[in-house]
Each structure stands twice: as C-alpha cells, then as structure tokens.
Amino acid sequence: MDCLVVRGAKPLKGQVRISGSKNSTLPIMAASLLCSGEVVLTGVPDLEDIKVMSQALEILGAKVKREDDVLIINGSTVDKYELPEEISRKMRASNLVMGALLSRFHHARVAYPGGCAIGTRPMDLHLKGFQSMGFAIKEEFGFMEGKASSLGSQEILLDFPSVGATENLMMAAALLPGTTVLRNAAREPEIVDLQNFLNRMGARIRGAGLDTIRIEGVDYLGSVEHAVIPDRIEAGTLMVAAAISRGEVTIENVVLEHIQPIVSKLREIG
C-alpha cells in the first residue's frame, strides 16, 4: 500500500489553474457514442479514468486521439454494443456507456463496473429506468444486458436523485422515440454540463439543474465542440487547504456558482 506523508505548518501560497471536471468528462465521453460525427472536448484532465474510458470507447469501435487537454472522439465507426469485463472492472463509470449503447443500437451488454469503492452504488436505479423506457433487462454471468422491447414516451421517478442514473437515462432517452420525463433527477452541475453537450449535438433536453428533466428523442446527433466545466471538487479542496494553512492562493478557472456552498462556509468561519 502506498503512503503519503504530509508535512504541514507552512501556509500555502501561489496560483493554481483548476483542471476540467473528471465527473463531467466521463459521462460526456460516454455520450460521444451517440454522435454520428466527431466530438472535440477541451479542458480534459489527464487522469487514469479518462485513459480507461478512452480504451472502452476504442473497444466499441470509436477513434480517440488526445492532444494536450483536447480529446477528439470519432463515434461514426462505433459498431459494437458489448463492453467486456476486463475493461469494465477497471472503472466505475464504465456503466455509463450502457445508456448510450441502448439509445444508439437498442441493445447493450456491459459487465458490472469496478473502480472507485466509495459507498454502495448499485445499478438498480439504472436498470429500473431502462426497463421503464421499454428495454428488456437481463443480468447473468456478471453482465447487464438490455434489448429494445416496447419503446415509447415514459415518465420515470427515481427512488433517489442518483447522478449516474440520471446521466445514463438522459443518454438512453436521447435517440428514443417520444418524450421521456425524469423526476427526482440529480441536479449537480455535471448534469447541466451533460445536457449542454447533448443539446449542442442536436438533442432536445431541458430541465437539468432542476429535479425534473424532459428529453424529447431525436433521430440524429452530429459533430460538436465542447469545453468541459472546471472541477469543483478540486477547487473546493484547494480553497479549504489554503484556508486551514492560513495561506493565500489564487485559483483560476472556476465557476463561482459551482463552489458557492464552500465559499459561504469559509466566509462563515471567518
């Protein structure tokens, strides 16, 4: 096991530019599977999960190229609907490709995800949502499989506002016939960023940031360029570190609205 030794007693000083949000980049990368053209993402962080998701997209047939913080994904060549266990087990967010594959091919087979083990985050909400949309779901041999059964307009009430389930169901509904309404949806900034990305491709989604999201299915999603939002968790961590060390740090590339709760609490404690 690795060990980190932190020697304190020194105020943090300097200037830091915040990376793009990993938690926004991963679902957007999965959503690129819906695109019949080319996706250009800017502000993409250089993290292991991003590399694993890139590998997953390539296994499914996409072409992925990285240049500094720019990721170029061509989804026009995607021709597979199954993500094998060896890649799914590496990362929790691998489950996000299921919604996109169901939307594009009306068929998906994805091994249960691995990765980050913070808390229990089962796939039940995702699978129940897919079933409500009209997909027949089967779970066996460590895989989740969905096939179109009776697709059409649906209203789905999530048992709790899961970010991953909200993202997966938004993607699944993007190319389906009719209108899908998600109630008790997650309201995080990453949900809004995913909506903005999908709408720039030609999707018809509104309500992200509120607890009800409405998705009107379209027939085609095209090429897009999109800047990923900054990582609010990284920004908040640095703000707290600067405060408790009595330092002075300038943090660039932040959206104040996304970190307002931390700003308010820091001001509250002086």
Domain ranges of the chain: 13-18+231-268, 22-227
Counting as low any pLDDT under 50, the low residues of the chain are 115-120
| Domain 22-227 of CATH type 3.90.226.10 | no
Kindly report the CA angle at 126 between 49 and 220, in degrees rounded to 5?
80
Residue 117, pLDDT score? 44
Q: Is 245 exposed, middle or buried (0-12, 13-18, 19+ CB in 10 A)?
A: middle
Look-up of token digits 């083990």:
117
Residue 228, pLDDT score? 98
Residue 7, pLDDT score? 79
Q: Which of 13, 42, 46, 116 is catalytic?
A: 116
Residues 6+ apart with CB under 8 A from 19: 43, 45, 230, 231, 234
Residue 118, pLDDT score? 40
pLDDT tens digits, residue range 181-195? 999 999 999 999 999
**Residue at 208: amino acid letter:** A
Q: Is position 35 annotated as part of the catalytic site?
A: no
